[in-house]
Homo-oligomer: A and B are copies of this chain.
Amino acid sequence: MQRAAALVLRGCCPRTLGPWGRSQSSAAAEASAVLKVRPERSRRERILTLESMNPQVKAVEYAVRGPIVLKAGEIELELQRGIKKPFTEVIRANIGDAQAMGQQPITFLRQVMALCTYPNLLDSPSFPEDAKKRARRILQACGGNSLGSYSASQGVNCIREDVAAYITRRDGGVPADPDNIYLTTGASDGISTILKILVSGGGKSRTGVMIPIPQYPLYSAVISELDAIQVNYYLDEDNCWALNVNELRRAVQQAKEHCNPKVLCIINPGNPTGQVQSRKCIEDVIHFAWEEKLFLLADEVYQDNVYSPDCKFHSFKKVLYEMGPEYSSNVELASFHSTSKGYMGECGYRGGYMEVINLHPEIKGQLVKLLSVRLCPPVSGQAAMDIVVNPPVPGEESFEQFSREKESVLGNLAKKAKLTEDMFNQVPGIHCNPLMGAMYAFPRIFIPAKAMEAAQAHKMAPDMFYCMKLLEETGICVVPGSGFGQREGTYHFRMTILPPVEKLKTVLQKVKDFHIKFLEKYA
């Protein structure tokens, strides 16, 4: 039918309409006609289906934006449409996005970014000179003096130098080499890239990647994508989520039976668990990695988020170096940082870096080659990272305001961490380990047997059932522990501590009330 009409049309405007050409309205009319007559026969079987797609992608899960968050989105739409609920807003306590919950960006950072974005502002009296100085430095290092040019695939040179200087200062003088610094599109991009290069082999030689349980589910997702072998090591909940080297040993021995364990991932401070590893623990881990010939990944994006006065952040790089040359010349390490956390909360800019230690020069060449296919990380995110590592210093005009804002954010987070830990520990049936760092609570919840049965009837994991009920009854969206991993028979959820203090108090009260009711209902 179409071909006949087409042949008639072929005579006119051959350059604008081919044999199948027709106007929009006649096509639309025909479409309606055809669909009315034989709706099923118009739609062929698709090429891309759940069955034909990449099975490795199908296996990927990412709970932080998973089913419960999709449900939260549906509920928000219902609220917008005026459907009555026991609450007036959904509180998204599922994701570590501080600015989404009202945290203000650091003024100085945004000033420098604005100057880089629209350099006319360099002539404006409304911007401080120290911000202009940094903007000029960044722009001079960019192609065409513009954030709009691709940078080198490893990142803008002077920003890499600034990152190296930052690391050196942070680590009390332990030197960092700019050549070992790679700017990335958030830390997730760097972690994913390094894992991609590492994974090889087949059958029992397939690369095993050791990850903490509970983990940040980027790791399990990338391991799925790459068809690598996930090797779980359990953090010790009874010991404030400490990392026990005996458990590492147990995990690697078992893993060797079915894969080639090659990589050890550490998150410090921990996500979701919030523990800050002691220096001794870090040394033990490094020694273990050296012994077992494991490539170390140190995810340190929460390095600025340490609240407990008894804890201190020690970078893996620094500890490695200070353990002497047998370690510092041999252990292969990649450490990651990001603009998304800390006191900056610049998630949307997708800024990050990785520092690699003891990588074979040929591998570094391979790394740059792989990165070059995506050209470069967003230059605006690189600029944001530059300000993070090169902030105002005493004597500079912006220093006071910068310090005030930074201390305010971090002080606030520390206060909210304590508040959350204390509040949860007052609730019968909830136990929350100390929130030493990061920005989450990961309390353990004790789910009564009747609730377990109800969950099973709903074909849900018990903690997912709990979190769904919490969401439906209070509008509070948290992520069930099963999304991060937990010891068999234990249940948790991860909640951020990011809402403003007063709102957080309300949230915590609502969770407490919900939990007590839940216990009563399923007693």
Decide: A144 near B349, CB < 8 A? Known: A44-B330, A57-B366, A381-B378.
Answer: no
Contacting pair B379 A348 (CB below 8 A): yes
User: Whole-angstrom distance from the CB of A519 to the nearest CB of chain B?
Assistant: 33
Which of B54, B199, B284, B330 lies in contact with A198, CB distance below 8 A?
B54
CB-defined contacts of A117 to chain B, threshold 8 Å: 110, 113-114, 117
CB-CB under 8 A from A52, the residues of chain B are: 200, 262
A89-131 interface bits toward B, Cβ cutoff 8 Å, 1 = contact, 0 = none: 0000001010111110100001101100110110010100000
Q: Give the CA-CA distance A362 to B52 in the complex, in Å.
A: 12
Does B124 contact A118, Cβ atoms closer than 8 Å? no
For A148, list chain B residues within 8 Å (CB).
99, 105, 344-349
How many whole Å from A408's CB to the nearest CB in chain B?
16
Q: State the CA gap A61–B370 with chains docked (Å).
A: 8
Complex CA distance for A200 and B348, rounded to whole angstroms? 32
| Residue A146 is within 8 A (CB to CB) of chain B in the complex | yes
List residues of chain B with CB within 8 A of the CB of A55: 200
Q: Looking at the complex, which of A28-36, A412-420, A422-430, A510-518 is the stretch in contact with chain B?
A: A28-36
Check A48 against B197 for contact (C-beta < 8 Å).
yes
Residues in B with CB closer than 8 Å to A431 are none
Flag whether A196 is at the interface (Cβ < 8 A). Answer: yes
The closest CB in chain B to the CB of A286 belongs to B20
Interface-side segment among A10-18, A233-241, A251-259, A447-455: A10-18
Cβ–Cβ contact A48 & B295, under 8 A: yes
Whether the pair B197, A53 counts as a contact (CB closer than 8 A) is yes
Residue of B43, B196, B218, B360 near A330 (CB, 8 A) is: B43
A501 contacts the other chain (CB 8 A): no
Once bound together, how far apart are the Cα atoms of A350 and B374, in whole Å? 10
Closest CB-CB distance, A335 to chain B, in whole Å?
15
Q: Mark A256-278, 1 if CB is under 8 A from B, else 0.
A: 00000010000000000000001
1/0 contact string of A427-450 vs chain B (CB within 8 Å):
000000000000000000000000
Q: Which residue of B lies closest to A282 (CB)?
A: B18
Which of B147, B188, B199 has a CB less than 8 Å from the CB of A54? Answer: B199
Residues of B within 8 A of A49 (CB): 360, 362-363
* A280 partner, pick from B18, B57, B192, B346, beta carbons under 8 A: B18
A406-B196 Cα distance, complex, nearest whole Å: 41
Provide the bound-state CA to CA distance between A358 and B43, in Å.
10
A60, B44: Cα distance in complex, Å: 36
Does A189 lie at the interface of the complex (its beta carbon under 8 Å from any beta carbon of B)?
yes
What residues on B are CB-neighbors of A348 within 8 Å? 142, 146-151, 376, 378-380
Residue A359 is within 8 A (CB to CB) of chain B in the complex: yes
Question: In the complex, which residue of chain B has the Cβ closest to the Cβ of A172?
Answer: B24
In the complex, what residues of B have CB within 8 A of residue A358's CB?
Answer: 46
A17 with B279, Cβ < 8 A, contacts A2-B324, A103-B144, A322-B27 known: yes
In the complex, what distance in Å separates the CA atom of A2 from the CA atom of B186?
38
A185 and B378: CB pair below 8 A? yes
> CB of A62 within 8 A of chain B?
yes
* Most B C-beta atoms less than 10 A away, residue of A44, A65, A117, A345: A117
Nearest chain B CB to A178's CB is how many angstroms away? 14
- Of residues A30, A100, A294, which shows the largest number of chain B Cβ atoms within 10 Å of its Cβ? A100
Residue of B nearest to A123 (CB): B126
CA distance A330 to B53 in the complex (A): 17
Minimum CB–CB distance from A349 to chain B (whole Å) comes to 6
| A42 close to B363 (CB less than 8 A) | no
B153 x A321 contact (CB < 8 A): no
- Complex Cα spacing A438 to B66, Å: 40
Cβ-defined partner of A370 (8 Å) among B2, B60, B102, B377: B60
- When chains A and B are docked, how far (Å) is the Cα of A173 from the Cα of B28? 11
- Any chain B CB within 8 A of the CB of A8? no
Q: Contact flags (1/0) for A172-201 with B, using CB distance below 8 Å?
A: 111000000000011011001000111110
Which B residues are in CB contact (< 8 Å) with A18? 279-280, 282-284
Distance in angstroms between the alpha carbons of A214 and B289 in the assembled complex: 46
A102 to B148, CA, bound (A): 11
Q: Which residues does chain B contribute within 8 Å of A143, judged by CB atoms?
A: 97, 99-100
A374–B53 touching, CB < 8 Å: no
* Cβ contacts A35-71/B at 8 Å (1 or 0 each): 1000000111011111011110110111011100000
Most buried by B among A114, A153, A197, A345: A114
B350 to A42, Cβ gap below 8 A?
A: no
Task: Determine if A27 and B57 form an interchain contact, defined as CB atoms under 8 angstroms apart.
Answer: no
Verify B294–A47 contact, CB threshold 8 A: yes
Closest-CB distance, A228 to chain B (whole angstroms):
10
A–B complex contacts, Cβ < 8 Å, 21 sampled: A14-B280, A20-B324, A21-B322, A27-B328, A31-B324, A42-B325, A47-B332, A48-B197, A48-B359, A49-B363, A50-B363, A95-B150, A99-B146, A110-B117, A150-B347, A185-B378, A222-B373, A349-B380, A350-B376, A350-B377, A378-B380
